């Protein structure tokens, strides 16, 4: 087997030696042989195709962890993974384009009329809650486990109407860099609250006072990520300030019961809301 040193392989693969060392450490592109004394890496010509595949996937922004998964798949499954990734990237790009337009208008002194804001009264209620510090890639699986796995799976009752809808409070930004915190809330009937809480000793039972909340209704849970949230959230907070009202806490995502169609890939309707003082 003819081998190339890391310098020559870097030249013909158009990858830097630094990148090749990183891909080796991550198990993406291990060398064909490593000198036991010097640690020098040697590569085979047959590894060029995989090297170019890794480079191409990085060019379109695929994270290294996902590349590792793709490399372990057969050709058809790998192609599907790449197509799915790019579909998500295009959705996110469209949302970012919308956010850029919104920011340009905002900097030019224009207000967005994209969303209609309404106000409603929410009565005092008992909440069973879970507060966690999570990053962007963690919030969906953690929330799904709480809302679906534990609450719905445990047949935990809730009051009727919008006051009984489960919701999430974002007490801080949730991104790749910021971890919230996030509070998942499940309203429970007042007369059953103590008994229900006893079943979940790791959760917190608290009473939320009656209040008004401003909200924007969105027809379904959108897949276009943080950019869409930024536009809707800024519009909502802007409306609150224009009305000389004071927000009480962070943004809320209220899941509307009985909406959505998981079999069709459609998420639930939800309201983006802010509790008002």
Tell me the pLDDT tens digit for each residue of 125-162. Answer: 999 999 999 988 888 899 989 988 999 887 899 999 99
Angle between helices 75-107 and 64-71 (to 10 degrees): 160
Give the model's pLDDT for residue 238: 83
Angle between helices 17-25 and 48-59 (to 10 degrees): 100
Cβ atoms of residues 270 and 221 within 8 Å: yes
Closest CA to 147 of 135, 159, 124, 130: 130
Give the β-pairing of 270-276 and 204-208. unpaired
Domains of the chain by range and CATH?
Answer: 3-72 (1.10.1660.10), 118-276 (3.20.80.10)
> pLDDT below 50 — which residues of the chain?
221-225
CA–CA separation, 152 and 269 (whole Å): 17
Bond from prior residue into 141 cis (ω within 30 degrees of 0): no
Give the model's pLDDT for residue 12: 87
Give the model's pLDDT for residue 272: 92
pTM for this entry:
0.62
């Amino acid at each position: 087997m003819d081998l190339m040193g890391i310098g020559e392989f870097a030249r013909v693969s158009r990858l830097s030696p630094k990148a090749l060392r990183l891909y080796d450490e991550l198990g993406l592109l291990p060398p064909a042989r490593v000198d036991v004394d010097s640690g020098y890496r040697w590569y085979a010509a047959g590894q060029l195709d995989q090297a170019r595949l890794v480079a191409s996937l990085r060019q379109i922004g695929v994270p290294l962890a996902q590349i590792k998964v793709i490399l372990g798949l057969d050709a058809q499954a790998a192609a599907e993974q790449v197509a799915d990734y790019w579909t998500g990237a295009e959705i996110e790009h469209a949302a970012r384009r919308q956010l850029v337009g919104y920011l340009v208008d905002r900097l030019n002194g224009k207000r967005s009329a994209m969303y209609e804001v309404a106000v409603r009264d929410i009565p005092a209620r008992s909440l069973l809650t879970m507060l966690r510090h999570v990053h962007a890639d963690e919030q969906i699986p953690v929330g799904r486990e709480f809302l679906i796995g534990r609450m719905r799976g445990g047949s935990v009752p809730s009051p009727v109407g919008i006051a009984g809808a489960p919701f999430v409070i974002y007490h801080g930004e949730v991104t790749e860099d910021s971890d919230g915190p996030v509070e998942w809330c499940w309203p429970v009937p007042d007369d059953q609250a103590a008994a229900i809480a006893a079943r979940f000793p790791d959760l917190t039972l608290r009473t939320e006072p009656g209040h008004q909340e401003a909200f924007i209704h969105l027809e379904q849970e959108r897949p276009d990520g943080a950019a869409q949230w930024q536009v809707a959230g800024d519009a909502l907070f802007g409306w609150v300030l224009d009305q000389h009202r004071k927000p009480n806490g962070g943004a809320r995502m209220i899941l509307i019961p009985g909406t959505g169609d998981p079999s069709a890939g459609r998420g639930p309707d939800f309201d983006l809301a802010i509790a008002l003082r």
